[in-house]
Amino acid sequence: MSVILHVDSSVRAASNANPDHDSITKNLAKLFITQLKCELDIDEYIYRDVGMNPPHFITQDWIGAVFTSEAKRDKQQMQTLALSDELIAEIDRAKLIVISSPMYNYGMPAQLKAWFDQIIRINKTFDFDLARGDQPLAPLLSNKILVIITSSGEFGFEKGGVNEASGHLVPHLRTLSKYLGVTDIYEIASEYQEFADHRHERSLQNAKSAAKALASQLARILKENNEHTRCS
């Protein structure tokens, strides 16, 4: 089955009265999804705009509920974890996860971090076993594809770039992605937004082209995976 989970995290809308305020990441993600839908029969499309509708931050009560066995949780604890359960179920169903995120202060928006905090949960998306020695955590989900779509005001955050040491958005997403069950990661990036010059326009056009090309590539991969599943 082709189940797509699409998570946007910019606090900006995709379309505004002033086009200069339009979210670049949301529009790139929309372009990717539109192209994907043209080339692939999608069984389920799940959309979350955590920038506009952020998940709750985790609390002491949330942690207490997580570390209470399911059989012993009271009604209030089950309600506290209801959103987390819902978000984890979406991750579990998805084969392809698309996360779009602007770079805020060299990292991810707080709203997106809150989404991850609700999902990365012991005995749900990872387990903990001291028998593994110094690396006791292991993901419980697997075989998912992640597309990371980013925008930044500056440039050169890639490996070897002039601002590599300051770029914490993509490295953080890559680190956390293993607890979503991700095995393959693809990236699309638009840079130079604050410069507002030809470099930004070129970077944005390259990102748009990359979004369409990647959608076509992943459509083929997902079709092949679906055929393999039906023939197994």
pLDDT above 80 for 228: no
Contact 7, 50 (CB under 8 A): yes
pLDDT above 60 for 177: yes
Q: How far apart are CA 146 and CA 97, in angstroms?
A: 5
Helix (H, G, I), strand (E, B) or coil at 102: strand
The vertex-58 CA angle with 29 and 64, nearest 5°, equals: 140
Whole-number pLDDT of residue 232:
46
Q: How far apart are CA 193 and CA 151, in angstroms?
A: 8
| Closest by Cα among 150, 64, 140 to 103 | 150
| Closest by Cα among 89, 107, 86, 80 to 176 | 107
Q: Give per-residue pLDDT as tens, 106-123.
A: 999 999 999 999 999 999
pLDDT above 90 for 227: no
Q: How far apart are CA 219 and CA 38, in angstroms?
A: 9
What is the pLDDT averaged over residues 139-154? 98
Helix (H, G, I), strand (E, B) or coil at 74: coil
| Closest by Cα among 151, 111, 156, 195 to 31 | 151
Helix (H, G, I), strand (E, B) or coil at 190: strand
